[in-house]
Every structure is written in structure tokens, then in C-alpha cells.
């Protein structure tokens, strides 16, 4: 079956999906996006993803192209038409098409694109079972990482640096030596005192949906945690580390810059949280 995409009011064959050459997302990265996991044909954590999208649109001063109910229907219909059981749905909203000019256009109509595809989720299970490596890179992104903007060049370059080093993920490090987040994930450690730590929400990190869902789960499981930044040195001396994201859930990090974290194997906190997270969504 050929894939189907939603583009500005129409469901079209994926191979025929097009946006205008003067779409501001293409020319200025003037847009936002969301990625929502699909499990068993159902959207995972749909409400917090929708809330984050609305926040990003508000911060960018982009008017939503459709209302909440219509967007939810479009996402589900795109998943259904593509027969996605386990995978993801991607949506992107830009300021629209206008003559190229840096300032906001007066008449542009926001553009909406939605796609969905299946994923081989067993590869994430395999990564979780063995653990992965993270490589640290200097923070090189703009000052509003809390907006889920389509401007991801620094993230792309960081991810490629990690892959060329044989690692799974890159962790950005600010000028004070603190880890901010991964190129496409939230960064966590269980420090030397046994406290689970992840950076507090601010303009320097994306408010991860999976992050937000895990914190109350930690309370339920009796896991001590602190929303407090950690240095690279603390991460390398930690008992365990892991990353989180919508499509992967929780993935243990067993090496940082080639150095083993803890005993070099997936830790019990990461394993417990991964199991609990997906159990609630099965």
C-alpha cells in the first residue's frame, strides 16, 4: 500500500505531497512540529503533545490552521490511512507561503502537513536491552530551545558527530560544563548519591513530553529525583544514565565519550521506568 500524506486540507499520495517553494518553513525554518508515537494504532501521550504544539505556536505567533478537534481527527485519519500499528505521526505547521521577506507577512495562511509511518520498534527494545553510547558536543543552538522549531541544523550536526563516533546520541554541553539535553532526546542520570536528575525546564531545553510523563511516575515508584542540571563529570561518575523521547521511551546510556557509566550495563532505574512507561500505554 502506498503511503498517504495530509497537505493543507487534502489527503494525497505520499509521492505527490508538495509544499510551495516560498513556504516560510522551507526558506526561514519559520515553523514548528510535533512527533507522536503510535502503539497498537493509538496515539501515545496525545494531550501533552497537543499542549506543547499550542505553546510553540503561541511563542512563534503562528495562528493554528485548524482547531484542536480537527487536528486530532487529521492525525488519527493519517494514521488510519497509512495502516500504522507501531510507529509515529509527524505534523508540521509553518507560517505559510509568502514573498520572501524576513518580517511576518500580512496575509499568509498557516500551512499544515501530517505524515505517518510504521517503525520497527524491536530495534528500540534491542537498544534498551544493551544500552547505548552518548557523545558530548558543545552547545551550539539558539537561545529558545523550548520552542519545538523546525530549525534543527545544530541538532543534525550534533547527531551526525555522534554517529561518526559510533555513538547513538549527542549530548549538548553549555559553557559552564552542564549537559542541557540530547540532539533529539532528554538527558538523565542517577547520580553518585542515587538521585535521579534531569535539567529543570527553561529556555535552553525542550519540555519533553516523555520527560513530563515520567516525573509523576517517579513519585509513584518511590524514585527520588531532582530537576537540577548535571555536569559531564557528574554524568561520567553516575550510577546510571538514560535518554527519553516520544518514539523510544526510555533508553539506557551505558557509555559517555567512550567511558563506561556505572558497570557499563543498563541500570535498574532506567529499566524500571521503561517497563512502567510502556505498561501504562499498552
Which of the residues are catalytic? 148
Q: Distance between CA atoms of 109 and 112, rounded to whole angstroms? A: 10
151-177 in b/e form (b: 16+ CB < 10 A) is bbebbeebbeebeeeebbbbbbbeeee
CA distance 118 to 84: 5
What is each CA distance from 256 to 131, 139, 249, 251, 268, in whole angstroms?
11, 16, 19, 14, 18
**Region of residue 24 (left: phi > 0; alpha: psi -120 to 50; beta: else):** alpha
Q: Are strands 169-173 and 132-138 parallel, antiparallel or unpaired?
A: parallel
Name the pairing type of β-strands 111-118 and 4-7. antiparallel
Alpha carbon 72 to its chain centroid, in Å, reads 19
> How many CA atoms does the CB half-sphere of 8 hold within 13 Å?
12
Identify whether the C-beta of residue 203 lies closer than 8 Å to the C-beta of residue 144.
yes
Q: Say if CB 261 and CB 236 are below 8 A apart.
A: yes
End-to-end C-alpha distance for the chain, whole angstroms: 26
Amino acid at each position: 500500500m502506498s503511503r498517504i500524506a495530509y497537505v493543507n486540507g487534502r489527503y494525497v499520495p505520499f509521492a505527490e505531497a508538495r509544499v510551495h517553494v516560498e513556504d516560510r518553513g522551507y526558506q526561514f525554518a519559520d515553523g514548528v512540529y510535533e512527533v507522536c508515537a503510535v502503539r497498537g494504532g493509538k496515539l501515545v501521550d496525545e494531550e501533552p503533545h497537543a499542549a506543547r504544539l499550542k505553546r510553540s505556536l503561541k511563542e512563534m505567533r503562528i495562528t493554528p490552521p485548524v482547531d484542536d478537534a480537527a487536528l486530532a481527527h487529521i492525525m488519527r485519519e493519517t494514521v488510519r490511512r497509512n495502516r500504522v500499528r507501531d510507529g509515529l505521526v509527524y505534523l508540521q505547521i509553518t507560517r505559510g507561503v509568502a514573498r520572501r521577506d524576513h518580517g511576518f507577512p500580512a496575509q499568509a495562511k498557516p500551512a499544515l502537513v501530517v505524515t505517518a509511518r510504521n517503525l520497527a520498534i524491536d530495534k528500540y527494545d534491542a537498544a534498551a536491552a544493551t544500552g547505548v553510547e552518548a557523545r558530548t558536543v558543545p552547545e551550539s543552538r539558539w537561545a529558545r530551545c523550548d520552542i519545538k522549531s523546525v530549525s534543527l541544523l545544530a541538532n543534525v550536526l550534533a547527531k551526525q558527530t555522534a554517529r561518526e563516533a559510533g555513538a547513538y546520541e549527542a549530548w549538548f554541553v553549555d559553557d559552564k560544563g552542564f549537559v542541557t539535553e540530547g540532539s533529539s532526546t532528554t538527558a538523565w542520570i542517577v547520580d553518585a548519591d542515587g538521585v535521579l536528575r534531569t535539567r529543570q525546564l527553561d529556555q535552553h531545553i525542550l519540555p519533553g513530553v516523555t520527560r513530563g510523563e515520567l516525573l509523576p511516575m517517579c513519585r509513584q515508584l518511590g524514585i527520588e529525583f531532582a530537576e537540577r542540571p548535571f555536569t559531564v563529570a557528574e554524568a561520567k561518575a553516575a550510577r546510571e544514565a538514560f535518554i527519553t523521547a516520544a518514539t523510544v521511551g526510555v533508553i539506557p546510556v551505558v557509555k559517555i565519550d567512550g567511558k563506561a557509566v556505572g558497570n557499563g550495563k543498563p541500570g535498574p532505574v532506567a529499566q524500571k521506568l521503561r517497563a512502567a512507561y510502556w505498561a501504562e500505554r499498552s
